[in-house]
A and B are shown apart, each in its own frame.
Chain A
Amino acid sequence: MENNLKKVDIIFEVDDKCTPLEVLDKTLKRSADDIILDLIDSGLKGRGGAGFPTGLKWKFTRNESGDVKYVICNADEGEPGTFKDREILDRVPEKIFAGMTICGYVVGAKEGYIYLRGEYNFLLKNLMKKLEDFNNALKKRNIDFRIFFKSGSGAYVCGEESALFESMEGKRGEPRNKPPYPTVAGYNSKPTVINNVETLVYTTMICHMGPERFKALGTSDSRGSKVFSVSGDTPIPGIYELELGMPLHEFVNEFGDGDTKAVQVGGASGHCVPRKKFNDTIIGFEGIPTGGSMMIFNSSRSMYNVLHDYLEFFTEESCGQCTPCRVGCQQLLKGIEAVKRGERPPAYLDDLKKLTGTMKIAAKCGLGQSVGNPFNSIIDNFREEIIY
């Protein structure tokens, strides 16, 4: 079968002639406004999943007054099925450090923090050594910016940016009310840029190669490439950097095992796409966006079990502060169990779908707002598997 799937090598590319520090050196010779223009021109959107234009985020933060600002790298990679940041942190950390330093230069921050998922602490030994070298290099260059690590403690919700700030400040990891947004009041209530690991590497690479090469990839809504974490029923699980905007069927042709029944795009909080929709589904911001997780299920999998696992996960990982999420998740989980056992009629699933409508618009943060994604897409496409 013909396959146009385009593999890309930007994130992990090693260019001995231009190290991340050298990228930094040449970039810091440019004006902050030029760097922002390049980022906006590149069309880079946040790679954590929400897809906010990176150049704008930096611009807003730069425009805030105040002496103290922060750059935070969100390395709290917790979305089930996502494991690309781990690889990036392990293989090309200097590109992350460089991206953070460029950001610090652009917005006027002197401190950067990498909030590392607690489960990734095993990476720290290697990372700390490299960070020390990098910080020393900054010192030698008289660049007034230092990077530090903070470790998370295992709560999924701390990947939500405002919960992450709370956690960094030593408080319970609970999302804040918005506004204010991080660009105005983030860590320690100061203007803050918070970017995903992968996003920061792309900023370094766009500064290195210019926006053109990046822009040439992808579609008008989804510029560039993206690192995917491919798992599930595939003979070749792993990390792949692919052009954005690909049709899902091409992805399945490449990675599926020939018996693919559904792909969960975007992790537990993403959407489940059944085989019949592979042809019409684009992976990108104009179709189904993803933070990188692609979970492939073949016909041996029970979609009830899949959904049940996801709901168990959210029930446990909700921070618990807001009603729609804390109680809603429990009702969805217990609800499908009750339907399965015949204690509630199949039509109860429709009541629960309405409930996800409330969760989507009334929950305090993205966690509760997105539980309806897997719920509705699995119920709508595999209703019989849930009921019987």
Chain B
Amino acid sequence: MSKYLVNLKINNMPIAVEEGTTILEAAKKLNFRIPTLCNHPDLTVAGNCRVCVVEVKGARLLAAACATPVSEGMEVFTNSEKVRVSRKHIVELLLSEHNADCTKCFKNGHCELQDLSSEYRIGDHVFLDLVRPESKIQDISSPSIVKDDSKCIRCQRCVRTCAELQGVSALAVVNKGDHQKISTFLNKPMHEVVCTNCGQCINRCPTGALTERNYIEEVWNALYDPSKFVVVQTAPATRIALGEDLGIPVGERVTGKMVSSLKKLGFNKVLDTDFTADLTIMEEGTELLTRLKRALVDKDEKVVLPMMTSCSPGWIKFQEHMYSDMLENLSTCKSPQQMFGAVAKTYYADKINIKAQDMIVVSIMPCVAKKFECERPEMRDSGYQDVDYVLTTRELAMMIKQAGIDFNKLEEAHYDSILGESSGAAVIFGATGGVMEAALRTAYEIVTGREVPFTNLNIQPVRGMEGIKDATIKIKNVKPEWSFLEGVDLHVAIAHGLANARQLMEKVRKGEAAYHFIEVMGCPGGCLGGGGQPIPTSPEIRKKRTEAIYQEDEDMPIRKSHENPEVVEIYKEFLGEPLSHKSHDLLHTHYKPRKRY
């Protein structure tokens, strides 16, 4: 049933829009921008910052444009005297409780409040400074997220992100009135609560109240230290988003330029997490087939299905807190980042004749949970911390700017070898459904000797932005050694964003979902929507990044993980075979239950 049209005027211009449209959306159609702070395309409407107030003819009150639906005959003014005076007051009020030391702020130049302040030319503060001295003490307890209450404007985007998108609610509103603030359970430090370090709050914080813990100086120090051999790995989703922070349109791939810039920054070797993504497929695919065999042939009652992916450290910590009874379901595979660190400081260090203690491994990640992950005590299988520093895509962009590199004009360069070769299957790890698709491309072929029966290897059913997807793959005409899988319907499911993951886990726990394999990514859209990616984010932006990822896959000469020659090589020379003793030592890990609060 089509909605009916509502006629109204905005700044005397007539427009007809669908019933239910907000004033904000209607104004946008007429190219009137109404400023907003608490509004975000990924979140429910709050209407609490009041920056978007507009005048409606005949109304006693100004209306919050983001929260007010249009009505027939309405006459709206977006820049009347009343509106301007009020809006300016509101910005001044926000600034009066905001620690406006902009020049020293990590978000300097990327702050929505700063932009508004500049737009309204707020000069000397009219109002009294209300910043509480105690609020200036930053919470730096988390290795991933820095929380600075003195910068917070209480828009509650982070609270809504944590609750609505992630279903975690590590951040919540506490107290009222002048003591109202965004805090954690019992005001505990961030690293002691259920925060998964996903960083989605950072992506949506309009100011510098929530930022990543940045390691830019540490990495520069390593690069300048002649006694260190510094290698860098880049995650799949970085190459399709880095450009956004460097003046390049959303959705444009910058793989070659990124490699080139990393070389210019002085990294000794520029390598690719995609290599270990391929390695992950070998290990995880084999683990899945092994679990299936134990279940179907050995009738082993201890085997746990569905098996769940373990690439996303936010998801892992979520599971450790919320579903600690289901840790056995998680694949024992480390994430590609951590496989890389372990392999780099053993196999690779030997190959290039560098002592592990002299090697620094830096990761460029679309993620802030990776910062936490690399510090996990389990992640020291090389005898050293396997990955030393994790930089977000945003931090890399800052380093490129600091180094004075004209990113746009860079030549395209190739990853160094070895540990630089990868497949299209690896790059789609960056999109929701990608790990599943990559795993199916390999596992199906191992079992049947044939390619997956999808046009151009693109397994459409596992792609797309639906919160939870599922698919069934019929396995037919298998090779003799896999006869137990003949005719089996392989049921798989995919969730992205932890609120969706929670829904899926509830189904699994209740036994309502007989899946064999589940992929979960902690962030909406998968890694391409990660907490370390360029800001802003929105469904449209993530859609463009997704298209870029799949295009990158199609352009790769190798599309399947098991065909990556460097992967073949590492098994031949070093690991033996998937799930070998050595693999277990270096590439697999375990998880620990954590408290629910």
Contact = CB atoms under 8 A, between A and B. Distances in A.
A and B bound? yes
A183 B413 CA distance: 65
B50 A316 contact: no
Contacts of A317: 176-177
B62 A362 contact: yes
B175 A323 contact: no
Given A177-B47, A327-B130, A361-B60, A320 B90 contact: no
Contact of B90 (A319, A323, A351): A323
Contact of B50 (A179, A324, A334): A324
Given A172-B173, A331-B130, A364-B48, A321 B93 contact: no
Nearest to A327: B93
Contacts of B436: none
Contacts of A331: 93, 96, 127-128, 130
B176 A330 contact: no
Interface stretch (A91-99, A260-268, A352-360): A352-360
A23 interface: no
Contacts of B85: 354, 357-358
Interface stretch (B63-71, B227-235, B490-498): B63-71
B252 interface: no
Contacts of A316: 176-179
A177 B94 CA distance: 20
A329 B50 contact: no
Interface in A134-182: 155, 157, 172, 177, 179
Dominant secondary structure of chain A at its interface with chain B: helix
Which residue among B61, B67, B94, B127 has the maximum number of chain A CB atoms within 10 Å of its CB? B127
A318 interface: yes
A320 B61 contact: no
B156 interface: yes
B53 interface: yes
A219 B179 CA distance: 44
A323 B126 contact: no
B334 interface: no
A185 interface: no
A321 B126 contact: no
B562 interface: no
Nearest to A369: B61
Contact of A320 (B51, B82, B126, B177): B177
A379 B294 CA distance: 81
A335 B128 contact: yes
B96 A329 contact: no
B49 A322 contact: yes
Interface bracket on A: 35 or more
A290 to B, nearest CB: 19
Contacts of A320: 154, 173, 175-180
B538 interface: no
Nearest to B130: A330
Contact of A155 (B126, B176, B179): B176
B182 to A, nearest CB: 10
B354 interface: no
Contacts of B130: 327, 330-331, 334
A59 interface: no
A323 B178 CA distance: 11
B79 interface: no
Contacts of A42: none
A13 B98 CA distance: 55
Dominant secondary structure of chain B at its interface with chain A: loop
Contact of B128 (A177, A338, A363): A338
A354 B69 CA distance: 28
A315 interface: yes
Interface string A320-352: 111110111111001100100000100000010
B458 interface: no
A281 to B, nearest CB: 22
Contacts of A326: 154, 177-178, 180
Given A330-B178, A361-B61, A321 B156 contact: yes
Nearest to A363: B50
A361 B53 CA distance: 9
Nearest to B127: A331
B178 A321 contact: no
B543 interface: no
B11 interface: no
Interface in B148-184: 153-154, 156, 173, 175-180
Nearest to A313: B177
Contacts of A355: 89, 93, 127
B14 to A, nearest CB: 22
Given A177-B64, A177-B68, A338-B128, A321 B48 contact: yes
A235 to B, nearest CB: 35
A378 B400 CA distance: 59
B577 interface: no
A329 B178 CA distance: 8
Contacts of B93: 323-324, 327-328, 331, 355
Nearest to B66: A177
B247 to A, nearest CB: 33
Interface string B88-110: 01100110110000000000000
Nearest to A317: B177
B514 interface: no
B226 to A, nearest CB: 53
B173 A315 contact: no
Contacts of A328: 93
Given A177-B67, A357-B85, A364 B47 contact: yes
List of 9 A-B pairs having minimum Cβ-Cβ separation, nearest first: A320-B180, A327-B93, A177-B67, A358-B89, A321-B48, A177-B47, A358-B86, A318-B177, A316-B177
15 contacts: A177-B45, A316-B176, A320-B173, A320-B180, A321-B156, A322-B50, A323-B49, A324-B93, A326-B154, A331-B130, A334-B130, A354-B89, A355-B127, A358-B90, A362-B90
Given A357-B85, A362-B61, 11 more contacts: A177-B47, A179-B69, A318-B176, A318-B180, A319-B180, A320-B173, A322-B47, A355-B89, A362-B62, A363-B50, A364-B50
